[in-house]
Amino acid sequence: MERLAKVDHVLLDKTGTLTSGRPTIGEITVTKGRRRDTAIRLAGGLEVASSHPYALAVGDLLESEDLKPTSVQDLKDVHAGVEGRVRGDLVGLYRPDRLPSGVTLEGELASALVVSSKAGHGASVLVRGEECIALFTFVHDDGRSGSDEVVKDLYARGVNVEILSGDLQSAVDQFAARVGMPSKAAHGELTPEDKVRFVEQRSSTHVTMMVGDGFNDAGALAKADVGVAVGTGEQVNLEAADVLIPGDDPRLITTLIFLARSANRTLWANLLFSIGVTVILVFAVINNWYDNLWIGVLVHEMSVIVVILNGARLAGSDGWWDLIKGTFSGLIGDTRESIALFSSRFRSSS
């Protein structure tokens, strides 16, 4: 909570955090001599075990076209992609700028990538052996409701904001402009390792909060001063994060920081008030201002009530009264139980 109150730099993952995380398949361009359905089935086989938003989009396409994924062996995640083997051939689905050594994007696939990039869409290249056989483009989802508000509120509270994303830089720039962020604060085409290094760099000069929801954010979440997982998350993500925000409202990020700062101020106010009351009571006794114990007890207990009421303000206008009722109901109940216990023991002893 103390670190949360000091956060002055927030790093936001884009897909799944500021957006719904469910892009859809746009255009699928295949090279001459290749079949579209075969390319889709192969891409589905590569992404079958992944929960990345692009993988989910490929899975949705398979289901909508009633296709079954190709069986792919030796599946493994690689630098900005996934690869495996089919009948001995190396196959993979990669980010266009992270193709394996010796593999180049040419002809109609290269042209399709240019069009996709200008439109701000994401893209993945399907490779078999040393040949690019298809380009899948992904139409990025709209921002979640409140995405622009969370950026505006963070700026208003004096918090720096940056986007870290594995998507193409053009797509990240376009999204940043929509939510009111300058292009210099939008960083695309980052690998999970790049995100970790970026967070480490920012953490050396700021108190950082990293917010993400995907498997690839786990390392960055762990490196930030405060790691926040949003949505349902994945197990590795939840283990790396300090805070879980259930649901899909990004505005809870600013609520979290506001609550932490308010709690910190309230804590110090209550602490100073309690110390002040104690000092006054001790000073009053030393100077013989009163000699009745009940007066000191009454003043002390009244100060406790003031502290409780001040702390209850953190619950907000909606929960303040319920919290007060619950607190005092508990106190009354405990008092009754204590009196009943004392009475029963007194009767038994007599």
CB atoms < 10 A from the CB of 200, how many? 14
Greatest pairwise CA separation for the chain in angstroms? 102
179: phi then psi, degrees, rounded to nearest 5 = -100, 10
Instruction: Give the separation between CA 95 and CA 82, rounded to whole angstroms.
Output: 10
Looking at 13, 173, 225, 248, which residue is catalytic? 13
173 catalytic? Reply is no
State the angle between helix axes of 293-312 and 316-349 in degrees (0 to 180), rounded to the nearest 10: 140
Distances (CA, A) of 314 to 110, 163, 228, 274, 277: 56, 30, 21, 18, 22
Cα 211–Cα 217–Cα 220 angle in degrees, nearest 5: 80
Instruction: Give the separation between CA 27 and CA 25, rounded to whole angstroms.
Output: 7
Amino acid at position 117, single letter: S
- Residues acting as catalytic residues: 13
